[in-house]
């Protein structure tokens, strides 16, 4: 059986940079890997960024699961309970984004506390494009409108 790779994010406005990251995440699991994505809850995003996402959580999750590269997309816990997530998904690898230092720290803590054999892989930052982040896309929309 292939390896299970776990990754997570808000995926507010799905863009090509997300897909490239997800493809990289799936690839590190090797042949027949399974990619499980935890989609951040609206409440979690509101707490972290001070405002809710544009697209509600159920739709963000459904769009993720509609991607060829994604085997399963699940909504997270509002308090980002890493221990519960790991226990549920049982990943071989956790893939974290360049800007997910807090997720990486929480994963490391859980792995160390429970002495788990899970590798952490840091994903690259993709693209020179101006449109490789949801915030940049939002900024462009606002600028176009002005």
Q: According to the binding rule CB under 8 A, does residue 128 interact with its own copies?
A: no
Would residue 51 show up in a list of annotated catalytic residues for this protein? yes
List the catalytic residue out of 3, 26, 51, 119: 51
Site string for its own copies, 34-53 (x = CB under 8 A): -----------------x--
Sorted by sequence, the CB contacts under 8 Å of residue 41 that are 6+ apart come out as 57, 75, 76, 77, 78
Provide φ and ψ at 63, rounded to 5°.
-65, -40
Which of 30, 48, 62, 120 is in the footprint of its own copies by CB under 8 A? 62
Would residue 3 show up in a list of annotated catalytic residues for this protein? no
For the purposes of burial, counting CB atoms within 10 Å of the CB of 25, is it exposed (0-12), middle (13-18) or buried (19 or more)? buried
Q: Which C-beta is closer to its own copies: that of 55 or that of 103?
A: 55
- Name the helix (H) or strand (E) containing 60: helix 57-65
Q: According to the binding rule CB under 8 A, does residue 75 interact with its own copies?
A: no
């Amino acid at each position: 059986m292939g390896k299970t790779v776990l990754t997570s994010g808000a995926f507010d406005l799905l863009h090509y940079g997300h897909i490239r990251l997800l493809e990289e995440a799936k690839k590190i699991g090797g042949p027949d890997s399974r990619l499980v994505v935890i989609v951040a809850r609206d409440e979690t995003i509101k707490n972290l960024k001070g405002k809710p996402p544009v697209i509600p959580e159920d739709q963000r999750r459904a769009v993720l699961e509609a991607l060829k590269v994604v085997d399963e997309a699940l909504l997270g816990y509002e308090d980002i309970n890493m221990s519960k997530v790991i226990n549920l998904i049982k990943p071989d690898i956790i893939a974290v984004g360049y800007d997910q230092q807090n997720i990486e720290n929480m994963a490391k803590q859980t792995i160390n506390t429970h002495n788990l054999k899970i590798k952490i892989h840091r994903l690259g930052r993709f693209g020179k494009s101006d449109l490789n982040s949801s915030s940049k896309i939002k900024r462009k929309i606002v600028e176009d409108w002005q």
